[in-house]
């Protein structure tokens, strides 16, 4: 059955309107006093290609700018549900809302790197990893920063943290602006990964969400073209959550990356309404990587796939379930996710974890060989 072009456009417009109606203004970034409530302050180093703002409530705008560096200490209140982000009101209530406990803008690159090195040096030698997060489409700076802190807190990530903030417009109708910004932001991520690679980290965990996966794959491809195998070899694992990339484009990018990631994992869901809309913008060919239609093809290529389609404890739109699902958090605590991301044979799923092991067996698809093996 073929839809009439006009009817298709009307349906798409209605979908955009529905999603736009759910959009809120960027969250505030107030600084609250420390030790005033129960919670944790997560230190996050920021690399960004957003333009700066003199407004301390915004810090960074959706505009495009040169690569710059900052640091934020993000307050995560203890009084909340796992996976929940309560944006700050005016005035902010640190007993239940996210906020900042400190912010340092316009850091010199050398000072930023020194902060990273100092943080790593304070950690046990075997645990000196860096977690780099690349946010997705429709993400104001504040929202991406709070999401990063929530992931660190709820998934028990105890590494040095780097947040790459690329210039997303932060509202639904600017989809094409964000796609152009994803290309614009590639070189900034390349430089950021090079700088992180110069640190004493044992490895770099790279997590990209949604359209941030396009930024990431383009950056890895550029590193390969520049002969930076030394940087690429330190990225382990690389995780693409709900990637907003065409499958064929992804394969072309992957084939150009040498060496490929030692361990590459893709988180997919056929319930992701945001990616369904993105796929309709591509002509409805079901080619969006994050929807998961190509799951078996990915596994055959040596890529681990985590299919979140059957999980029901995520969000209404299904686009940030990788960060909000308590089931996924429990799998992370059990070790099953770590095994999947590191290409291990799945001992946690066979270790008597009961219902949790059954869930892991249903949603985690491990390749028989690692990516890049011949």
DSSP result, 156-225 = T--SEEEEEE----SSGGGHHHHHHHHHHTHHHHHHHHHHHHTSS-SEEEEEEETTHHHHHHHHHHHHHH
Q: Whole-angstrom Cα distance, residue 289 to residue 293?
A: 7
Reply yes or no on whether the pLDDT at 293 is more than 50: yes
pLDDT band at 126 (very low <50, low <70, confident <90, very high): confident
pLDDT band at 164 (very low <50, low <70, confident <90, very high): very high
pLDDT band at 97 (very low <50, low <70, confident <90, very high): very high
pLDDT at 345: 53
Q: Report the alpha-carbon angle 263-264-269, nearest 5.
A: 145
Reply yes or no on whether the pLDDT at 19 is more than 80: no
Give the contacts of 257 (CB within 8 A, at least 6 positions apart).
217, 220, 221, 223, 224, 232
Lowest mean pLDDT among 23-37, 199-213, 260-274: 23-37
Decide: pTM greater than 0.85. yes
Question: What are the structure tokens assigned to 279, written together?
Answer: 């796929």
Using an 8 Å Cβ cutoff, are 358 and 371 in contact? no
Q: Count CB atoms within 10 A of the CB of residue 118.
A: 10
Question: What are the structure tokens assigned to 263, written together?
Answer: 């361990």
Bin 257: left if φ > 0, else alpha if -120 < ψ < 50, else beta: beta
pLDDT at 317: 87
Which tens digit of pLDDT belongs to each residue from 230-245? 999 999 999 999 999 9
Using an 8 Å Cβ cutoff, are 341 and 307 in contact? no
Reply yes or no on whether the pLDDT at 191 is more than 70: yes
Reply yes or no on whether the pLDDT at 357 is more than 60: yes
pLDDT at 372: 67
């798409």: which residue's tokens?
Answer: 12
Question: What are the structure tokens assigned to 350, written together?
Answer: 């066979």
Which tens digit of pLDDT belongs to each residue from 50-80? 999 999 999 999 999 999 999 999 999 999 9
Q: Whole-angstrom Cα distance, residue 240 to residue 291?
A: 12
Strands (E), the chain: 39-52, 60-77, 99-107, 129-134, 160-165, 203-209, 235-241, 264-268, 304-307, 364-365
Question: What are the structure tokens assigned to 233, written together?
Answer: 């070899």
pLDDT at 353: 56
Reply yes or no on whether the pLDDT at 157 is more than 60: yes
Mean pLDDT of 202-221: 98
Tell me what the pLDDT averaged over the chain comes to. 89
Q: Whole-angstrom Cα distance, residue 241 to residue 252?
A: 19
Q: Count CB atoms within 10 A of the CB of residue 121.
A: 12
Give the sign of the dihedral formed by CA 97, CA 337, CA 363, CA 164: positive
Reply yes or no on whether the pLDDT at 24 is more than 70: no
Using an 8 Å Cβ cutoff, are 348 and 332 in contact? no
Reply yes or no on whether the pLDDT at 46 is more than 60: yes
Q: What are phi and psi of 309, to 5 degrees?
A: -55, -40
Lowest mean pLDDT among 105-119, 307-321, 335-349: 335-349
């Amino acid at each position: 059955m073929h839809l009439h072009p006009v009817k298709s456009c009307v349906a798409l417009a209605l979908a955009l309107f529905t999603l736009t109606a759910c959009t809120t203004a960027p969250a505030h970034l107030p600084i609250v006093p420390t030790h005033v409530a129960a919670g944790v302050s997560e230190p996050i180093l920021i690399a960004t290609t957003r333009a700066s703002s003199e407004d301390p409530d915004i810090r960074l705008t959706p505009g495009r700018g040169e690569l710059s560096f900052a640091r934020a200490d993000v307050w995560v209140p203890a009084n909340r549900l796992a996976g929940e982000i309560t944006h700050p009101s005016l005035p902010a209530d640190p007993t239940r809302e996210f906020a900042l406990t400190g912010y340092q803008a316009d850091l010199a690159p050398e000072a930023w790197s020194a902060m990273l090195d100092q943080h790593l040096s304070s950690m046990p030698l075997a645990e000196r990893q860096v977690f780099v997060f690349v946010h997705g489409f429709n993400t104001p700076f504040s929202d991406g920063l709070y999401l990063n802190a929530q992931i660190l807190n709820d998934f028990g990530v105890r590494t040095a943290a780097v947040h790459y903030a690329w210039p997303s417009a932060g509202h639904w109708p600017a989809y094409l602006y964000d796609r152009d910004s994803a290309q614009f932001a590639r070189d900034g991520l390349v430089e950021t990964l090079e700088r992180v690679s110069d640190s004493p980290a044992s490895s770099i965990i790279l997590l990209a969400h949604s359209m941030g996966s396009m930024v990431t794959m383009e950056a890895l491809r550029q590193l390969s073209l520049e002969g930076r195998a030394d940087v690429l070899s330190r990225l382990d694992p690389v995780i693409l959550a709900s990637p907003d990339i065409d499958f064929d484009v992804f394969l072309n990018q992957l084939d150009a990356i040498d060496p490929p990631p030692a361990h590459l994992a893709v988180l997919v869901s056929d319930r992701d309404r945001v990616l369904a809309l993105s796929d309709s913008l591509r002509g409805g060919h079901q080619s969006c990587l994050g929807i998961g239609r190509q799951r078996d093809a990915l596994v055959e290529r040596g890529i681990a796939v985590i299919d979140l389609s059957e999980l029901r404890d995520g969000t209404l739109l299904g686009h940030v379930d990788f960060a909000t699902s308590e089931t996924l958090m429990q799998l992370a605590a059990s070790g099953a996710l770590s095994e999947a991301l590191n290409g291990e044979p799945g001992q946690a799923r066979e270790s008597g974890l009961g219902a949790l092991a059954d869930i892991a067996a249903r949603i985690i698809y491990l390749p028989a060989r690692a990516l890049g093996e011949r």
